[in-house]
Each structure stands twice: as structure tokens, then as C-alpha cells.
């Protein structure tokens, strides 16, 4: 395999310099190894023939056997095409070629029997196939089994490269190389998990004889990828565990006790108690904590954060919370300050708009240790912000902070501070084991008592008057209402306009009520002023963009109207919905949409109306979008490209790979045993670097 990784594809039979260049440009295939790992996206059963008469709906790639009745050249110039009329005895369809017309005419004939592979499409009641693959239906040449369909691009097709071409190139490669190919996985592991060898799996994935074999090959190849991923992740976390000495918070002292006994605003939920215990234990191991605190919106993470910070303070350390937006930082500051000021904790807020004077006070209090807790935005990362003894960093809403920013906070103390990452975006287990695999996880899986699930409804634009009536009912009960509009960068001008029109309409319709208005383009001071109006119930309605998506906490608000809900992603909708249902009143979330929306979109909105469980929403989101689409660190967190494994759907194989990786490292932490040498070499090649396994012990 190492040799195949180092060999270009130019000299392969059927390739040559031109095609090599094209394959690299279109499919990213550079080396023979890349080619071998270019797998079919799906398969066609060679023993199954479809009849043209049975075509219907959205057809997959199918196989049809029959004869051409005629060939005609149609159109002129660039639109010239060859149209063959093809019948299998049940009906006829058109087969169309825009390219390589002459070659087609010379090689295929009216009356001969052929097998076509292609995707039928329907236009005006007639079926046709464009650029299908053709085989001569010669029984002697016909091998049963499954036939791979390789991903191609339009450009490749236009240059006459078909799925069949790719298959033939790969077949030569396989014939020449598969025989002597060794397996990088330790043979004991392969045996105990009853896996196929790599050579066999690579052969089968391109030439499956049946589905059972194919599944086994896929399992082996997925497992291998995921094992490398897990070994990589575990290498990091084990290295950290053994190497970086951490601050040791041995005691729970007077700040914590005073707060717990006198100032706790409500009894903690069992889940809150449990995670505080987990975090406390983790800060007392002598190792640096790197923990993810997951809890659905409204589960009470802020209070947990505070109590953990009090433990840090009790041990003579300082703490810091980073929030993704100024609004959120301010809100954290206000709620934490109101809870903790009574026990004498000194808390300050630092954002981009903190005046210089105040900034200087903060800097000096941080330096002399009299400032216990600093709350802020990205501003806290700046080098000018220096702590006397930073012991705990809490990052709220992880996905907006990159890993690199996290690492900058580590450097703010000679012994790296403990890190707690809080996220309300529930991270499905599979991702927690991969992208976040180096973090330990605590989960708040319980909402404070008395919360009623938010009733979520879908309403069409023509039902707007009904919706307004419901809003009025809530307002008359003294409740508050959010109305959210999309504001998407690419569409900013149009969106701002509809936001402004919406605001004007709301002011008009709800003349008797006070309406506040906030969007991301406003000056921070204006924004804060408007938010403050709503938070203090000097405004009844807040018309806003998604600036309120994260963290905003106004328990008296019981209704959330989301305009153009079809334009939001699932996790965004869930975040927005999390702004209501925070008090004891029954809350509502209304998804406003056009009647005419696509199937996928409707499915998305229906998930919202059918569940309020953030984990269910997140799993559905991952399945519908695929892990590649997830934003921010999720995406950049992947150290290798996965060819075949799918983080959304291969949870079981991920768990299997995780266990295998653990037991390999448990038995041979530095991968120095002779049976692990092929694996170690393979890892170095896959990740394109040499791991310093010796650091792990």
C-alpha cells in the first residue's frame, strides 16, 4: 500500500497523462491508492433487468436488455445529438448521446442485442436515458453479481469516461497488486472480530458477488478508517492525561458553601448535582480537565458553571467564561452577578465595548488576583488579559469557538487551566466519540421541574390572523412574545427589508403593546438597550433576527413566532425554540411558512412539531444533512477524510472501533510490539505524520 500511495496513475493501463490530469482535477485521484479507494457509490444487481414499461417515479440506475430500432442525428451545431430508439419488447425509450456520436455509430448497430446501464428520466410521458453504458448482451461475457456505479462528474462523462471505464482501470490495478497485499491490522484483531482481510475487502468492494459479501467488505473498510480515527483521538487524550500536570482543586470551601446554603435560588436538579460532582472530581485528579458539558436549552448550565467556578475560587484560582456574543456575555454577567455577589465574589464583564478605564481596572484586578470571575467575549483571549492564577475556563456554546482559541486560553497560566465546554447543541453520541473524542462528557439530561414541553405548531402565511389572535391572548395574560426573522448574509438586503416591514406590521397590529426591535446590524449599545427593554418587561414583543438564538433568558416569554421557518436549519430552530418554555407557563412555538415547500423542508419542520427532545432533533439533523455539513469545529475537527464510514449512521462501528483502539493501546501504549508495526506504519502514512507514541504511557 505504501508503494501504491507513492505511485501516480498516469502509467496505468487505460489512463495516460490526459486522463490522469482529469481524474485528479475532477475526483481528486492522484495516486494508485486513491484510485483503489475510489469506491462505487452504489450497485446495480446484474441479474435484475427492469422492463421499460415498469419505469415510474424517480428511477435509480437500472439495467435494461433489448435492441435498437433506429438511430437518428437530431439538432444542429452544439446541440447535435444522436438519438437511438430502444425497445426491450415491453415499451420503447430514447437513448441520447451528445458526445462521441461517431464512435457510437461505428460500434453499435440496429438489431444487435445490448444491455444498457443508466438512469432513466421522464419527459412529457416519454422515458429516455442519456449516455448510458452499453454492453453487448453476449451470454458468455455476462457475469452475475453486483456491478458498482462509480461517482463521476459531468466533465468526465463528456470526455467519455464512464463508470465502466473507472471499473476497468481499477480492475487492472487490483489484478496486479492485490495478491501480495499485506494487512496492517494485527491478525489477532482481524480474527477476533471476524473481519475480512484488507486485500479481500478491496477486491470485493469493487467486485461484489452478492450483498452479504459486500456488507462484510464494507464493514471491514469502515472499521479500518474508524479505528485509525479512534487511535488518533485516543493518542491525544492519553497523552494529555499522562503529561500535562493539572491544577488540583482539593477542597470545597467557604464560597461554595455560603452560596449553596444561602443563595441557591432553587434546589438543584439531580442531573445538575451529578454533573457538578463529575466536574469537581475531574478538577481534583492532578490532570487538566477537558470536559464537554452537554445540556439541552434551558437545562440550567449557567448555575452549574457558577458552582464549578466557586470551587475554583475556593482553591485560590480565578475563573473565566467566554461567550460567543456580547448579548450573551452581558446576560451571563447579570445573572451570575445577581446570584453570587451576595457571597462576596468579584465578577466583571469584558467585551469589545468595555471602556478603557474599566478595562484597566479589570486588568489590574486580574493581575493582583482580586477579580475572581471574568466574563466576556473573544476579548478575554487577547494577550493583554493576564490572570494571576487562572484555574478554570468555561466556554459557552462551543461551536463558535475554534479549537485554536481554546488552546490560547490554556496558555494563560503556567499550569494549563481546566476547560469546560458548555453546549446546548446536543452532540449525537457518534460525534461525541469522534470529533469531540478527546473531551470527556457530562450530560444534564433533565430539565428543571415544572417545565412543560413547548407546543410547536406549523402555520401557513394565510393563517396569520389566527396566529395574531393567539399572540394577543398571551399578551393579555401578561406574557411576552418573540417574533424572529431570518437574516442571512447572502440575502441581507432583502431580509432586512422584510424584517423592517415585519416590524412595522407588528407595531401596527399590536398598537396597544410595546414592541422592541433588535438585529445584528445594530450598534451594540442600541442592541443592548432594546434587549434590556424586553428583559425587564418594558416591552411585550421582541422583533428580532437570530441574534437571540443563543442563551437569551426571559422566562416570562411564552411564545416564539419564527417567520420563514423553512429557511432555518433544524438545530437553529431548536435553539430558537429554546428561548421559550423557560418558566412555568405553557409555551408555544409557531413555525410560519409558505404552503408550498419541498419534501425535505416539510420533513424538517415536522420533526420540530413532533419532538422537543434536543437529542432527537440533533440526530435527525445529522442524518438529513450528513456530518459534512455541520458547522465550525465539527467539520474542521476531522483529521482525515472518511472514504466510506459515515459518522451519522455508523454509530455501532464507531463504538466497535473505539473499543478496539482502547484495547490495542491498553496492551501496547507505544505501539512498539512487533505485531503492531504494520499498523504503526499505516497510521503514519494515513495521517501523513509520525506519531510520537512514546509520549503515551
User: What does the binding site for Mg ion look like in residue numbers (CB under 5 A)?
Assistant: 551
Interface residue with ligand ADP, options 13, 53, 266, 488 (CB under 6 A): 266
Cα–Cα distance, 309 to 333 (Å, whole number):
13
Which CB, 131 or 301, lies closer to ligand ADP?
301
Cα–Cα distance, 289 to 375 (Å, whole number):
20
CB 13 within 8 A of CB 173: no
Which residues inside 448-467 make contact with ligand ADP, applying CB under 6 A? 448
Q: How many residues does the chain have?
A: 697
Residue 29 within binding range of ligand ADP, rule CB under 6 A:
no
* Torsion sign (Cα): 20, 21, 22, 26: positive
Which listed option, Mg ion, ligand ADP, none, makes contact with residue 372 (CB within 5 to 8 Å by class)? Answer: none
- Give the CA-trace dihedral at 143, 144, 145, 149, to 10 degrees: 60
Which listed option, ligand ADP, Mg ion, none, makes contact with residue 62 (CB within 5 to 8 Å by class)? Answer: none
What string of H, E and C letters represents the secondary structure of 572-605? HHHHHHCCCCCCCCCCEEEEEECCCCCHHHHHHH
Which CB, 448 or 585, lies closer to ligand ADP?
448
Cα–Cα distance, 485 to 463 (Å, whole number):
17
Which CB, 331 or 593, lies closer to ligand ADP?
331
Provide, rounded to whole angstroms, the least separation between the CB of residue 423 and ligand ADP: 10
CB 133 within 8 A of CB 62: no
Which listed option, ligand ADP, Mg ion, none, makes contact with residue 300 (CB within 5 to 8 Å by class)? Answer: ligand ADP
The CA-atom distances, in angstroms, between 530 and each of 537, 560, 654 are 11, 17, 47
Which CB, 271 or 661, lies closer to ligand ADP?
271
Provide, rounded to whole angstroms, the least separation between the CB of residue 601 and ligand ADP: 27
Provide, rounded to whole angstroms, the least separation between the CB of residue 299 and Mg ion: 9
Which CB, 397 or 566, lies closer to Mg ion?
397
Provide, rounded to whole angstroms, the least separation between the CB of residue 353 and Mg ion: 21
Provide, rounded to whole angstroms, the least separation between the CB of residue 397 and Mg ion: 8
Which listed option, ligand ADP, Mg ion, none, makes contact with residue 553 (CB within 5 to 8 Å by class)? Answer: ligand ADP
Segment near ligand ADP (CB under 6 A); pick from 207-215, 261-269, 273-281, 374-382 = 261-269
Residue 269 within binding range of ligand ADP, rule CB under 6 A:
yes
Provide, rounded to whole angstroms, the least separation between the CB of residue 385 and ligand ADP: 24
The CA-atom distances, in angstroms, between 56 and each of 120, 459, 481 are 9, 33, 48
Which listed option, Mg ion, ligand ADP, none, makes contact with residue 582 (CB within 5 to 8 Å by class)? Answer: ligand ADP
Task: For strands 146-149 and 42-45, give the pairing.
Answer: antiparallel
CB 418 within 8 A of CB 391: yes
> Residue 491 half-sphere exposure, CB side, CA atoms within 13 Å?
10
CB 645 within 8 A of CB 222: yes
Provide, rounded to whole angstroms, the least separation between the CB of residue 393 and ligand ADP: 17
Provide, rounded to whole angstroms, the least separation between the CB of residue 427 and ligand ADP: 14
Provide, rounded to whole angstroms, the least separation between the CB of residue 131 and ligand ADP: 53
Residue 300 within binding range of ligand ADP, rule CB under 6 A:
yes
Which listed option, ligand ADP, Mg ion, none, makes contact with residue 298 (CB within 5 to 8 Å by class)? Answer: ligand ADP
Which residues inside 430-449 make contact with ligand ADP, applying CB under 6 A? 448
Cα–Cα distance, 506 to 561 (Å, whole number):
12
| Terminal CA-CA length for the chain | 29
Q: Which residues of 145-184 are buried (b: 16+ CB within 10 A; e: fewer)?
A: ebbbbbebeeebeeeebbbbbbbebbeebbeebbeebebb
475-479: list long-range contacts, CB under 8 Å, 24+ apart. 475/510, 475/513, 475/540, 475/541, 477/585, 478/556, 479/556, 479/557, 479/558, 479/559, 479/585
Applying CB under 6 A, the site for ligand ADP has a residue count of 17
Cα–Cα distance, 331 to 351 (Å, whole number):
12
Which residues inside 532-561 make contact with ligand ADP, applying CB under 6 A? 553, 555
Which listed option, Mg ion, ligand ADP, none, makes contact with residue 184 (CB within 5 to 8 Å by class)? Answer: none
Residue 582 within binding range of ligand ADP, rule CB under 6 A:
yes
Which residues inside 100-159 make contact with ligand ADP, applying CB under 6 A? none
Which CB, 272 or 354, lies closer to ligand ADP?
272
Residue 299 within binding range of ligand ADP, rule CB under 6 A:
yes
- Give the CA-trace dihedral at 175, 179, 180, 182, to 10 degrees: 110
**At a CB cut-off of 8 Å and minimum separation 6, what does 616 contact?**
607
Residue 575 grid coordinates: 435553539
Interface residue with ligand ADP, options 230, 272, 377, 564 (CB under 6 A): 272
Which listed option, Mg ion, ligand ADP, none, makes contact with residue 297 (CB within 5 to 8 Å by class)? Answer: ligand ADP
Residue with cell 495478491: 179
What are the DSSP calls for 110-175, one per residue?
Answer: TT-EEEEEE--EEETTEEEEES-EEEE--GGG---SEEEE----HHHHHTT--HHHHHHHHHHHHH
Segment near ligand ADP (CB under 6 A); pick from 182-190, 210-218, 295-303, 343-351 = 295-303
Residue 297 within binding range of ligand ADP, rule CB under 6 A:
yes
Q: Closest residue to ligand ADP, Cβ-based?
A: 300
Interface residue with ligand ADP, options 181, 268, 532, 695 (CB under 6 A): 268
For residues 342 to 361, the per-residue mask of contacts with ligand ADP, x marking binding by CB under 6 A and - elsewhere, is --------------------
Provide, rounded to whole angstroms, the least separation between the CB of residue 264 and ligand ADP: 9
CB 442 within 8 A of CB 452: no
Which CB, 293 or 499, lies closer to ligand ADP?
293
Provide, rounded to whole angstroms, the least separation between the CB of residue 623 and ligand ADP: 24
Cα–Cα distance, 208 to 217 (Å, whole number):
9
What string of H, E and C letters represents the secondary structure of 63-124? EEEEEEEEEEEECCHHHCEEEEEEECCCCEEEEEECCCHHHHHHHCCCCCEEEEEECCEEEC
Provide, rounded to whole angstroms, the least separation between the CB of residue 550 and ligand ADP: 9
Provide, rounded to whole angstroms, the least separation between the CB of residue 444 and ligand ADP: 7
Interface residue with ligand ADP, options 184, 246, 298, 637 (CB under 6 A): 298
CB 327 within 8 A of CB 400: no
Interface residue with ligand ADP, options 134, 174, 247, 303 (CB under 6 A): 303
Going by the DSSP 8-state scheme, the letter that residue 287 receives in this structure is B
Residue 84 within binding range of ligand ADP, rule CB under 6 A:
no
Provide, rounded to whole angstroms, the least separation between the CB of residue 302 and Mg ion: 5
Interface residue with ligand ADP, options 295, 376, 437, 637 (CB under 6 A): 295
Which listed option, ligand ADP, Mg ion, none, makes contact with residue 376 (CB within 5 to 8 Å by class)? Answer: none
Provide, rounded to whole angstroms, the least separation between the CB of residue 425 and Mg ion: 11
**Residue whose C-alpha is closest to residue 481's, from 452, 510, 441:** 510
Residue 302 within binding range of ligand ADP, rule CB under 6 A:
yes
Contact residues toward ligand ADP (CB under 6 A) are 266, 268-269, 272, 295, 297-303, 424, 448, 553, 555, 582
Amino acid at each position: 500500500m505504501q508503494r501504491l500511495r507513492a505511485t501516480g496513475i498516469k502509467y496505468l493501463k487505460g489512463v495516460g497523462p490526459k486522463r490522469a490530469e482529469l481524474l485528479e482535477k475532477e475526483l481528486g485521484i492522484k495516486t494508485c491508492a486513491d484510485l483503489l479507494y475510489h469506491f462505487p457509490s452504489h450497485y446495480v444487481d446484474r441479474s435484475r433487468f427492469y422492463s421499460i414499461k415498469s419505469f415510474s417515479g424517480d428511477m435509480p440506475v437500472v439495467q435494461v436488455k433489448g435492441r435498437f430500432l433506429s438511430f437518428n442525428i437530431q439538432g444542429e451545431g452544439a446541440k447535435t445529438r444522436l438519438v437511438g430508439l430502444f425497445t426491450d419488447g415491453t415499451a420503447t425509450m430514447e437513448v441520447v448521446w451528445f458526445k462521441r456520436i461517431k464512435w457510437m455509430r461505428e460500434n453499435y448497430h440496429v438489431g444487435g442485442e445490448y444491455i444498457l446501464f443508466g438512469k432513466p428520466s421522464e419527459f412529457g410521458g416519454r422515458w429516455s436515458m442519456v449516455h448510458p453504458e452499453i454492453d453487448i448482451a453476449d451470454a458468455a461475457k455476462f457475469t452475475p453479481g453486483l456491478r458498482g456505479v462509480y461517482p463521476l462528474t459531468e466533465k468526465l462523462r463528456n470526455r467519455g469516461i464512464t463508470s465502466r471505464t473507472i471499473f476497468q482501470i481499477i480492475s487492472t490495478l487490483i489484478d496486479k497488486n492485490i495478491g501480495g497485499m499485506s494487512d496492517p491490522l494485527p491478525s489477532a484483531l482481524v480474527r477476533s472480530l471476524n473481519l475480512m482481510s484488507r486485500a479481500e475487502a478491496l477486491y470485493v468492494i469493487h467486485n461484489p458477488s452478492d450483498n452479504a459479501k459486500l456488507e462484510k467488505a464494507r464493514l471491514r473498510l469502515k472499521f479500518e478508517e474508524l479505528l485509525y480515527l479512534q487511535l488518533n483521538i485516543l493518542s491525544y487524550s492519553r497523552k494529555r492525561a499522562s503529561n500535562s500536570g493539572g491544577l488540583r482543586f482539593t477542597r470545597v470551601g467557604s464560597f461554595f458553601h455560603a452560596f449553596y446554603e444561602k443563595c441557591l435560588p432553587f434546589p438543584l436538579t439531580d442531573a445538575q448535582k451529578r454533573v457538578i460532582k463529575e466536574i469537581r472530581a475531574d478538577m481534583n485528579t492532578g490532570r487538566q480537565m477537558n470536559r464537554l458539558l452537554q445540556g439541552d436549552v434551558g437545562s440550567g448550565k449557567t448555575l452549574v458553571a457558577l458552582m464549578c467556578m466557586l470551587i475554583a475560587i475556593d482553591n485560590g484560582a480565578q475563573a473565566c467564561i467566554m461567550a460567543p456574543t456580547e448579548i450573551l456575555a452581558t446576560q451571563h454577567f447579570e445573572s451570575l452577578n445577581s446570584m453570587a455577589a451576595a457571597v462576596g465574589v468579584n465578577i466583571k464583564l469584558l467585551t469589545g465595548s468595555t471602556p478603557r478605564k474599566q478595562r484597566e481596572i479589570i486588568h489590574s484586578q486580574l493581575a493582583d488576583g482580586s477579580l475572581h470571575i471574568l466574563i466576556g467575549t473573544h476579548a478575554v483571549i487577547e494577550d493583554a488579559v493576564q490572570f494571576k492564577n487562572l484555574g478554570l475556563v468555561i466556554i459557552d456554546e462551543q461551536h463558535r469557538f475554534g479549537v485554536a482559541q481554546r488552546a490560547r486560553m490554556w496558555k494563560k497560566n503556567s499550569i494549563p487551566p481546566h476547560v469546560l465546554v458548555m453546549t446546548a447543541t446536543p452532540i449525537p453520541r457518534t460525534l461525541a466519540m469522534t470529533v469531540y473524542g478527546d473531551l470527556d462528557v457530562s450530560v444534564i439530561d433533565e430539565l428543571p421541574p415544572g417545565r412543560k414541553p413547548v407546543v410547536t405548531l406549523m402555520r401557513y402565511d394565510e393563517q396569520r390572523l389566527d396566529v395574531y389572535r393567539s399572540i394577543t391572548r398571551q399578551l393579555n395574560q401578561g406574557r411576552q412574545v418573540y417574533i424572529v426573522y431570518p437574516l442571512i448574509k447572502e440575502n441581507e438586503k432583502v431580509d432586512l427589508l422584510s424584517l423592517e416591514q415585519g416590524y412595522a406590521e407588528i407595531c401596527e397590529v399590536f398598537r396597544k403593546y410595546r414592541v422592541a426591535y433588535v438585529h445584528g446590524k445594530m450598534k451594540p449599545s442600541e442592541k443592548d438597550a432594546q434587549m434590556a427593554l424586553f428583559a425587564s418587561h418594558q416591552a411585550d414583543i421582541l422583533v428580532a433576527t437570530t441574534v437571540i438564538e443563543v442563551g437569551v433568558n426571559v422566562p416570562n416569554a411564552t411564545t416564539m413566532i419564527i417567520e420563514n421557518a423553512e429557511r432555518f436549519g433544524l438545530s437553529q430552530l431548536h435553539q430558537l425554540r429554546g428561548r421559550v418554555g423557560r418558566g412555568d407557563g405553557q409555551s408555544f412555538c409557531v413555525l410560519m411558512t409558505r404552503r408550498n415547500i419541498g419534501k425535505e423542508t416539510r420533513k424538517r419542520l415536522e420533526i420540530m412539531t413532533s419532538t422537543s427532545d434536543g437529542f432527537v432533533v440533533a440526530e435527525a439533523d445529522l442524518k438529513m444533512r450528513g456530518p459534512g455539513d455541520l458547522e465550525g469545529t465539527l467539520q474542521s475537527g476531522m483529521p482525515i477524510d472518511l472514504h466510506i464510514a459515515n459518522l451519522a449512521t455508523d454509530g455501532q462501528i464507531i463504538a466497535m472501533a473505539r473499543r478496539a483502539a482502547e484495547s490495542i493501546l491498553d496492551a501496547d501504549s507505544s505501539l512498539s510490539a512487533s505485531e503492531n508495526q504494520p499498523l504503526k506504519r499505516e497510521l503514519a502514512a494515513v495521517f501523513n505524520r509520525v506519531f510520537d507514541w512514546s509520549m503515551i504511557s
